[in-house]
A = this chain, B = another copy of it.
Amino acid sequence: MHFEELIKTIKERRDTLKVTQDTLAQLSGVGLRTLKQFESGKGNPTLQTLQKLADVLGLQVSLKLKSTPAKR
């Protein structure tokens, strides 16, 4: 999952839950500006920020093995 997909996932999930950026910002404790920047593709959030958002949305940040190996 690259950047854009992560953003898309967050956005879609937020839409599904019918939550506005403003509300999500408040619930997660992340600044509204920060969330806006992230969702509009202009951010590079810290892991902590991403997790705060994911948590509230019922999502989980995870690391999984890629099907296509990268090394060698």
Contact = CB atoms under 8 A, between A and B. Distances in A.
Interface of A: 1-3, 6, 9-10, 13, 17, 19, 44-48, 50-51, 54-66, 68-71
A69 B58 contact: yes
- The number of times this chain is found in the oligomer is 2
Contact of A54 (B10, B48, B50, B63): B63
Given A10-B63, A17-B71, 14 more contacts: A1-B62, A3-B51, A6-B47, A6-B62, A13-B63, A44-B47, A46-B46, A46-B47, A47-B47, A47-B50, A57-B71, A58-B65, A59-B66, A60-B64
Contacts of A54: 63
Nearest to A62: B1
